[in-house]
Structure 1
Amino acid sequence: MIKVLIIDDSPLIRRLLTEILQQAKDITVVGSAEDPYEAREMIKKLNPDVLTLDVEMPKMDGISFLKNLMRLRPMPVVMISTLTQKGSPITLEALELGAVDFIAKPTNNVREQLSQYASLVQQKVRIAAGARVRSYKKTVVTNEPINTHSQFLLNKVIAIGASTGGTEAIKEVLIKMPQNCPPIVITQHIPPVFSASFAERMNRTCTINVKEAEHGDKLSTGWAYIAPGGFHLSIKKRGVSLYCQLDDGEPVNRHKPAVDVLFNSLVETGAKNVVAAILTGMGSDGAKGLLALKQNGAYTLAQDEYSSVVWGMPKAAAELNAADEIVALDKITQRLLHQAVKV
């Protein structure tokens, strides 16, 4: 049984989350707190397996509490966030600090919308309960990105797919990329608004240029393109150039954007020019696409279990024998670049 403590200053949200989580046979809500100070005592007393934590609260905000928690007693946390321009950077900061995932708090018709999200809320708590949580450590930008002086093959493309835990894994990969790296295309399971904030955050942090992909973007050296939430990203070839294509079609593997859509599109453009990696995440999205890439000549990687927050997508890829290598997160950038270097 997964024991959950709910921390939220809204009595309505506390009540609704309790109702939703108690519907699951494998989850029990052991308590709810209206602020972090009350929560601190309840954590000691109730020893929960997972916390749900509101981002904005009186007395002490969720970020400050999370920072202290991850330093003193790391444990799985699911953030409850408003899906807004203001809320998304704060939520991304929470993921950076060690939160496993987040749930978007409805802004209108709260009871009706949260009820529709019941299975998603329950699933995210289950994922968090099994996640690998580590104490917070700040990533330092390396002054010497890997292979700065290497000559990369002009037609190479690096493709990355990720889900739960992926924003921080992607950050660790991109932060080491040199300015002359091949174009990088990324699908991370992320909602609208959050993808733009994530791209902006990466662009400020990394040596390379990072942007939210737009329809018609031409892939260029030294750039990373992140799929916008709510749209599939695929890559199309026109002449000798590659371009981003956004598609508002149905979810694939229950996701939009979906990693399989990106990977399969690169099979069509010429898999032999692709180096692809599947990173931490729940489920199996991307595993079949990675296999298709490998079978058509791409070099493929999957993140190892120990360094993954959730070893779902990489595990699915490994079970299909879709990865040429299973690699620790801190080695993935090096391996991606190694495969893209001119011999």
Structure 2
Amino acid sequence: MTHHRVLVVDDSAFMRKVISDAIELLADFTVCGRARNGREAIIQARLLKPDIITLDVEMPIMTGLEALPELLKTAPVNVIMVSSLTSSGTEETMKALSAGAVDFIAKPDNGISSVDRLSEELACKLRAAAEAQYRPVSLSAPVKRVPNVQSSGTSERAVVIGTSTGGPKALQMVLPLLPKDLPCPVFIVQHMPAGFTASLSKRLNNLSAITVKEAESGEIAKNGVAYIAPGGYHLTMIRKGTNVSLQLDQEKPVHGHRPAVDVLFTSAAKAQFEHVTAVILTGMGKDGAEGLKQIASHSPYTCLSESEASCIVYGMPRAAESTGLVTAVHHLHEMAAEIVRRC
């Protein structure tokens, strides 16, 4: 059995203990060290060479965001951010994910039940991080040019995107390349808890020509707008004549997720679009594969899957490809151009 060594970094002694205790319950993970701030973390990482680091976002002396670039230079390591639910905490977490952290967990507010939930979530995140491919952030990655769009009238097409671990970074390499006059709406499920999708949407909107926003229940979908499912809510759509109305609900999680990609994809399959472009990006697990089957059964479609060469975690694309329904596999740098070509 492979043992993955974890460095725990947190300003709070309580959180260091909670995280360490949760890790020690897992047979294939062990705590190799602890640190109280970013400066200590850098020293420990150089000495201990951990496989994974859990890194508090907000710390004195040196914050997690300040320490992250140096930690990523020390050795191939996957970093999980540990974030508060404050506005500044969620925004800093989005910056960290863009800078190379593979995932994050939210700190519990209080109470034994919330600590138990953190332990369960941490186990999932650690396993994803153990599977994740270390990919240094490239500032000059080759990007396939996106063609100009010639559009008139209202589109009866849609783009649906599903992603999980590594998704915020992947979305940042796709959505900003889509043209403002994209002739269809885009619907996105990113596995993420409540409180963080607002920061993700805001960050992506600031970087993109298209409008990026959290989906709101009852709003009518518009071309050139990307709608991100809010954390804690499934996103579905209902056809109302020539319009498509968005709906949010808190039905039970699917594959442990709410929002779930399968729920979005199944809804898109039944919304009577002339064509659906389904996109599966990096993520652990199989969410999206069953929904893809529904799309293929109900609608003319294209399915684009992210290649293993660019995925942080190849699980969701692999599961989609195993259905035999994927139209084409593309490196992330090509994905925006391919989406536009299929619209």
TM-score normalised according to structure 1 size: 0.93
Assess if the C-alpha contact under 8 Å between 1:294 and 1:300 holds in 2: no
User: What is residue 245 of structure 1 aligned with on the other side?
Assistant: 247
> How much has 1:112 moved relative to structure 2?
4.5
Whole-Å Cα distance in 2 between the matches of residues 268 and 227 of structure 1?
18
Report deviation, 1:258: 0.6
CA distances 1:315-337 after superposition (whole Å, capped 9, x unpaired): 10011113111111111111111
- Give distance in 1, aligned partners of 2:190 and 2:171: 9
Post-superposition Cα deviations, 1:43-99, rounded to whole Å, max 9, x if no partner, equal: 222211100000011111110100222345442001110122221111001100110
Tell me, yes or no, if the aligned pair for 1:195 and 1:228 is still in contact at 8 Å.
yes
Give the aligned CA root-mean-square deviation in angstroms.
2.0
Q: Is the 8 A contact 1:209 1:223 kept in 2?
A: yes
Distance in 1 of aligned mates of 2:164 and 2:177 = 20
Could you tell me whether the CA contact under 8 Å between 2:157 and 2:273 is conserved in 1? no
Q: After alignment, is 147-156 or 175-184 more displaced?
A: 147-156
Q: Is the 8 A contact 1:284 1:312 kept in 2?
A: yes
Q: Secondary structure at the match of 2:337?
A: helix
Which amino acid is 2:57 matched to?
A: V
Percent of aligned pairs with the same amino acid = 38
Letter in 2 for 1:148: N
CA contact (8 A) 1:148 1:179 kept: no
**1:1-343 paired onto structure 2 within 5 Å:** 1-109=3-111, 112-138=113-139, 146-151=146-151, 154-181=155-182, 182-270=184-272, 272-296=274-298, 297-340=300-343
Compared CA separation, residues 138 and 192, structure 1 to 2 (3 A) = farther
In structure 2, distance between residues paired with 1:6 and 1:215: 39
Paired residue type of 1:216: G
- Which segments of structure 1 move beyond 3 Å, counting only runs of 4 or more? 71-74, 137-140
SS at structure 2 position matched to 1:269 = coil
SS of the aligned residue for 1:175 comes to helix
8 Å Cα contact 2:156/2:273 also seen in 1: no
The gaps in structure 1 that reach 5 residues or longer are none
In 1: Cα distance, 2:261 partner to 2:117 partner: 25
Once residues 114 and 139 of structure 1 are traced to their aligned partners in structure 2, the CA distance between those partners, rounded to angstroms, is 41
Q: Is the 8 A contact 1:50 1:78 kept in 2?
A: yes
Instruction: Return the letter of the residue paired with 2:118.
Output: Y
**Distance across 1 between alignment mates of 2:255 and 2:205:** 29
Query: What is the letter of the counterpart of residue 146 of structure 2?
Result: I
Residue 41 of structure 1 deviates from its aligned partner by: 2.3
Q: What runs of 5+ residues in structure 2 fail to find an aligned partner? A: none
Structure 1 Cα separation of the partners of residues 208 and 140 of structure 2: 11
Which residue identity does 2:322 align to in structure 1?
Answer: E
How far 1:272 moved relative to its partner? 4.2
CA distance in 1, matches of 2:180, 2:80: 35
Q: Is the 8 A contact 1:291 1:323 kept in 2?
A: no
SS of the residue aligned with 2:30? strand
- Aligned AA (1:146): V
SS in 2 for 1:218: coil
Whole-Å separation in 1 of the counterparts to 2:110 and 2:310 = 38
How far the C-alpha of 1:224 sits from its partner, in A, is 0.7
CA distance in 2, matches of 1:5, 1:19: 13
How far apart, CA to CA, are the structure 2 residues paired with 1:50 and 1:299?
36
Q: Work out the CA distance in 2 between the residues paired with 1:269 and 1:68.
A: 47
State the Cα deviation string for residues 14-64 of structure 1 (Å, max 9, x = none).
111111110111111111111222222222222111000000111111101
